[in-house]
Amino acid sequence: MAERALRGTRLGATSYENDRNTDLAPRQEVTYDCTRGHKFSVTFATEAEVPVEWECRFCGDRARRRDGEGEEPKNVKPVRTHWDMLLERRSMEDLEEVLAERLEVLRARRREEAAKVEELADQQ
């Protein structure tokens, strides 16, 4: 019997459940204002943590909550780059010295490779 009831249907594509005797989660509607003047609303569950900023659905800019409630973004210290950490360990004079040494090593290596290429060309 069950085989006949499901014959010809696309399993997984359609839900056979109905909304009868079910309660939806309580919801709240939050209004956001875009920096370009767009206004829109987003529906959240009442127990959800509502963000202060949301991407504008019209232009993609940042939009802020109209009521102004919610926590402000935390002040995060800027990310330290590799260069910043290097400058903490060495002075500019030290770095210029290291650079000169490395450039000399690279130039010597290139001179050796050029000499080998010339040697091979002479042998042929």
- Say if residues 25 and 7 touch (Cβ distance below 8 Å): no
Does the annotation list 38 as a binding residue? yes
114 annotated to bind ligand: no
Q: Is 82 labelled as part of a ligand binding site?
A: no
* Rg of the chain in Å (alpha carbons): 33
Residue 59 assigned to a binding site? yes
- Measure the CA dihedral 90/96/102/104, to 10°: -150
Answer yes or no: are the C-beta atoms of 38 and 58 closer than 8 Å: yes
- Angle (CA) 27 33 38, round 5°: 110
As annotated, the binding site for Zn(2+) includes 34, 38, 56, 59
As annotated, the binding site includes 34, 38, 56, 59
